[in-house]
Structures are given as structure tokens and as C-alpha cells.
Structure 1
Amino acid sequence: MSAAKRLLLVHAHPDDETINNGVTMAKYAASGAQVTLVTCTRGEEGEVLVTELANLASDKDDKLGEHREVELKDAMAQLGINDFRFLGAPNKKWRDSGMMGTTQNERGDVFWQADLDEASHELVKIILETKPQVLITYDEFGGYGHPDHIKAHRVAMRATELAAEQGWQISKIYWNTMPRSVIQMGIEKMKEVGSDFFGAESADDLPFAKPDELVTTVVNAPEYVPQKLEAMKAHATQISVDGPFFALSNNLGLSVWGDEYYTLVKGEKAAPFDSNGRELDIFAGVI
């Protein structure tokens, strides 16, 4: 028998899920919810931050995707997630698209070039199998404009329409949101210790900083921050323990990762709420 609460997350590359939703995933999985992660590419074009693994890069041995599959598996073990899949697997693989305007982005096998309905139908299969009540993905800008994030958004939203036509209606859809005030606080704290956060002077310099009023929902789960940080460490080629994410943890304390923010774009907000009127439970009103 399937779990009473079922959550589906659609992400572009391995590590996106942990940065955006690590405590959300860990919290709901620990409570008995079925959590399904769909990752659309293997992140083949990612930068390799581990010197001894530099040969994996796409301009060298081009084996980073295979390595990131292992990193994702290790990260999911930390978060307690058993159901994680790559879109189209095992028969279809879409490659990391790289950034807009690059030669990689023009390859015929990259996710950005994928036919929208073909990719969406692959996700529909998973939706009809797992029957999630709640979906989490990116906004229409993909958070910060990466082609694969934008395409993941489009595929997720299209798949929900197609699944509804085939009998499964997802009750609530959320987009990841990084509120400007939280990012600005982090930047100020980093400045106090003579460091920076991605070189930004202000949250306005970062494309993923969103107006606070877009936040409808916050998942507060500080007790799962240690698991989130261990999952981040598992993505070693992409997240450096000496980089801005862990510097933020050191300077703001672990609680900086305990809140994850969302914009509800389908469904109705429901109690309980925090003092700012934001939902505290993504399944509220569903079960």
C-alpha cells in the first residue's frame, strides 16, 4: 500500500535537490511520506571542484555524469530517500545543456533541446505510478536562468497537465524560492568576517534572490540540517566545504539551512501558519 503522503520533486542536476530541498526531503521521508526525486540530467557539464577528479570534466574524459550519479546516491542515503530516478531512465538520457550561448547548449542530445512533450510524457509515467499530491520544482526562470532549470520547470508543469488528463490531479504545486531578505542577511554576515557569498555585494546582484512577498510557505526543520550538510558534502565535485555554502553555515550557524522557502502556485494555503502568514506544512489541506 502506498504512503498516505506522496511528494514529487523535479530537479535539473544532482545537487540541486539537496541545496534547495534537503531538509524538506529528509523531514517528510522521516515522517513516513513517500518522497520521489526525478533528476533530469546527470550534470555532465558541471565544474569539477576536486582537483584529483579534474579528468572527469566534459572537456577531458567526459565521465562527470557517471560520477555524479554516485554522488546523488550517497546524498540520498544521507537524506533517507529511497526513490530517486533520472528522467527517461533506463532507455533515455538527456545530457546537461550547459549555459545559454555555449556550444554544449546546441548539442542535439542535451535537455534544453529535448522535445517538451516527449520529456513530459516520461515524467507523466512517474506521476501516474507514484500519484503525488504535492510537486516541487523551479519557477519559470529556473531560479537563476540555467537552461536545464527552465526546461525542468516546463517539463514538470506540462506533465502535471498531461497527468490530469489521464486521471491524476496533483493537489499542490510549489516553486523553490530564495527570499531576498535571507540572502541579504547572509551577505552581511559574510562581510563581517571578511568573506563574500558568490562575490555579491547585495542580494540584488544574485539572480536567484526573490522578493520576500513571493514566499507563501516555509518548511522549518532544523533537526535535519546535519543530514542536509552531509548530503551537500556527498556532492563533492560541485560543493566545496571551503566554498560559500559552508562558509555561510560557519558564519550564520547551522540554522541558516533549517528553513526552506516556497511559492505555492497551485492549490490553497492551509493552516498551520507562522507569524507572517506563511504555510508551515506543504501537505496542509491535502490529507
Structure 2
Amino acid sequence: MRALLEGLRPAGRPARLLFVHAHPDDETLTTGVALAHHARAGDDVHVLTCTLGEEGEVIPPALAHLEGDRPALAAHRRRELAAAMAVLGVTSHVLGEDHPGDGFRDSGMAGSQAARHPRAWAGVPLGVAAEAVGAVVADLRPDAVVTYDPHGGYGHPDHVRTHEAARSALVVVAPGTPLLATLTPRSWAEEDRTWLAEHVPAGEGWVVPGEESAYAGDVVPDEVVTRGVVDPAVVPLQESALHAHATQVLVGRGWYALSNRHVFRLAGREGYARLDPATGRPAPEDET
């Protein structure tokens, strides 16, 4: 497995990376290790968030009043995002932030009424979404762009649209810029399942993926995952950033849980693969 930027890093200067995500907290949950690792290495790391997650479920009872109050929840989650990005040492961008009327909304889970909103991220024309992402790409001119796999990790419509918009943006405004997607080798997922079963408190309703539930769609055969970031030393930073996302995440000792009580390990490692922006399929690594 290659390092994330092996063969892609520019000579003579720090790399500039752009991570494109759908909602606040996605960046820390799925790419927090890479964000912290590359920021600590001196690279110029940016996160683009496409919506403010207005449809998110709120976990803490003290913040329950925010659920259903979409403007209030969006504002609160924006503050959470800013706090998490400060912990990780990266620069945050939100679509439409400079021109709020041009922003996009959380579409909710598949089939939800929120998807009918005219500015719902998953429902706007792909050309509109790609143009918005492309404007950020054109401004930053990153050396590589990182986002979800074609299935959005676990199929959330906003994650799928984020993948599509990032791909389309690169084709139009930055052809040749490497596109990388988050993926998990099956062997890692199985190791994590074993670890979680041994370390997460029993009898409290926690759900270990692969037991009551199947693995997420981004768990793939090991050979598909050709790049990775392995840095257990940044896990404390990732945990601290997750604590900032208090509306959405519960943090345990070496693990975290979402509102559905599904638990995931904070293992200090993340898998990636290079994709062809034109097709979304894996790009042969011998081309790098």
C-alpha cells in the first residue's frame, strides 16, 4: 500500500490537498487521520463542506431543541465544524458561505422530504453542483482532491452527489488533478470488528458493524485499496475534533458512535484509492 501522496507530491513545496465532504463531521469521521497527519507534516490542507447538515439527528438531550430547527442547527453545526478544523489544523470552506443565498441544504437520508427542497444538495442539477465545487478547485488549485467512493461510503444521497460533483469539477476545471476516494480494506474492517467486540461496553445497545449490521459499502477487498495513511499518533487530535461535533457523535475510548449507536474504531489508519475522474473507476497505479 502506498502513502496517500506517493508519486503525487510536488517537488520543492508542501502539497496542497482539498478534501470534499457533504456535511460537518464527515471530514473528521472518514478522513480525520489524513487531515491531521498532513497538516502536522506541513502540507496545506483544505476541507470543503457542501452543506451544513440541517437534517442531522441531535444526540445530546441538552441540544435536542436544535433538531427540526434547521437554521439553528445549521448555525450550530457550522460552529462545530470550525472548532474541529481548528483542532486538526486545516482550512475550512463551506459552499455558499461568501454568498449565503447560493448555498445548498442537507438532503436528508434517501427518500426523505428534505430532498424536495429546491436547494437540496442531492437534488440540484449535477452541473450546478459541479460548478460550485469547481469554483473552489479553480481558486485553490490543489495537488490532489479527496472525496467519497462512487457509493458515497454508505449510500447517503449527499455523499453520492459530493463524489459526482468533485469528479465532474476536476474533469472541467482541473484535468489531470489526482482524485482519491476513501475506502476500507476488508482485513482492517475485520480487525476493527474484533477490537470493538473486546473494548466496547456490552449490554448498552451499541452495534458493532458486521454483527447486527453489514459492513458499509466502502469496505472492499484489500487489493482495491492502494493508498493509505497510517498514523496512530494523530488519534488524540481526531478524538478531540470529534468531541467538537457533539450534536452528531459520541466518543468512547478508541471508538466513536453515531446516533444509531453503531460504533466504529479510531484505529489511526485510513485507506484510499486513486480514481479516474471521468469514470469513477480505480485508476491504475502504474500511471503515477
If the TM-score is normalised by the length of the shorter chain, which range does it land in?
0.7 to 0.9
Indicate whether 1:181 and 2:181 are aligned: no
Q: C-alpha separation between the residues in 1 aligned to 2:161 and 2:123?
A: 9
Quick one: structure 1 residues 45 and 269, their matched pair in 2 at CA, closer, same or farther if it must change by over 3 Å? Answer: same
- Per-residue deviation, 1:219: 0.7
Q: C-alpha separation between the residues in 2 aligned to 1:96 and 1:221?
A: 32
Q: Equivalent residue of 1:24, what SS?
A: helix
1:182-237 deviation digits (Å, cap 9, x = unpaired): 22222223334564545641774443422222211111122211111101111111
**Structure 1: gaps (5+ residues):** 248-254, 271-284
Q: C-alpha separation between the residues in 1 aligned to 2:136 and 2:28?
A: 21
Q: C-alpha separation between the residues in 2 aligned to 1:25 and 1:201?
A: 30
Letter in 1 for 2:51: T
- Per-residue deviation, 1:175: 0.6
Q: Equivalent residue of 2:145, what SS?
A: strand
Quick one: structure 1 residues 143 and 180, their matched pair in 2 at CA, closer, same or farther if it must change by over 3 Å? Answer: same
Q: 1:280 maps to what in 2? A: none
- Per-residue deviation, 1:245: 3.3
Quick one: structure 1 residues 210 and 157, their matched pair in 2 at CA, closer, same or farther if it must change by over 3 Å? Answer: same
Q: 2:245 maps to what in 1? A: 235
Q: C-alpha separation between the residues in 1 aligned to 2:127 and 2:225?
A: 30
Letter in 2 for 1:263: A
- Per-residue deviation, 1:32: 2.0
Q: C-alpha separation between the residues in 1 aligned to 2:213 and 2:192?
A: 9
Q: C-alpha separation between the residues in 1 aligned to 2:181 and 2:117?
A: 28
Q: C-alpha separation between the residues in 1 aligned to 2:119 and 2:267?
A: 35
Quick one: structure 1 residues 244 and 207, their matched pair in 2 at CA, closer, same or farther if it must change by over 3 Å? Answer: farther
Indicate whether 1:160 and 2:167 are aligned: no
Quick one: structure 1 residues 76 and 138, their matched pair in 2 at CA, closer, same or farther if it must change by over 3 Å? Answer: same
Q: C-alpha separation between the residues in 2 aligned to 1:106 and 1:243?
A: 39
Structure 1 segments (4+ residues) deviating >4 Å:
none
Q: 1:75 maps to what in 2? A: 84
Q: 2:75 maps to what in 1? A: 66
Q: C-alpha separation between the residues in 1 aligned to 2:111 and 2:59?
A: 23
Aligned alpha-carbon RMSD (Å): 2.5
Deviates more, 1:20-29 or 1:202-211: 202-211
TM-score, length basis structure 1: 0.82
1:79-110 deviation digits (Å, cap 9, x = unpaired): 011x2111233221111000111111222121
Q: C-alpha separation between the residues in 1 aligned to 2:222 and 2:185?
A: 5
Q: 1:40 maps to what in 2? A: 50
**Structure 2: gaps (5+ residues):** 1-11, 258-264, 277-282
Q: 1:191 maps to what in 2? A: 197
Q: Equivalent residue of 1:111, what SS?
A: coil
Q: Equivalent residue of 1:112, what SS?
A: coil
- How many pairs are equivalent? 258
Q: C-alpha separation between the residues in 1 aligned to 2:171 and 2:131?
A: 10
Q: C-alpha separation between the residues in 2 aligned to 1:132 and 1:230?
A: 27
Deviates more, 1:35-44 or 1:209-218: 209-218
Letter in 2 for 1:189: W
**Does the CA contact (< 8 Å) of 1:163 and 1:169 recur in 2?**
no
Deviates more, 1:147-156 or 1:192-201: 192-201
Q: C-alpha separation between the residues in 1 aligned to 2:36 and 2:46?
A: 12
- Per-residue deviation, 1:75: 0.4
Q: C-alpha separation between the residues in 1 aligned to 2:130 and 2:71?
A: 27
**Does the CA contact (< 8 Å) of 1:198 and 1:244 recur in 2?**
no
Q: C-alpha separation between the residues in 1 aligned to 2:246 and 2:135?
A: 31
1:223-275 deviation digits (Å, cap 9, x = unpaired): 2111111011111111112599337xxxxxxx9431111011146648xxxxx
1:221 to 214, 224, 231: 231
2:106 to 70, 73, 96: 96
TM-score, length basis structure 2: 0.81
Q: 1:116 maps to what in 2? A: 126
Letter in 1 for 2:176: Q
Q: C-alpha separation between the residues in 1 aligned to 2:104 and 2:152?
A: 17
Quick one: structure 1 residues 11 and 148, their matched pair in 2 at CA, closer, same or farther if it must change by over 3 Å? Answer: same
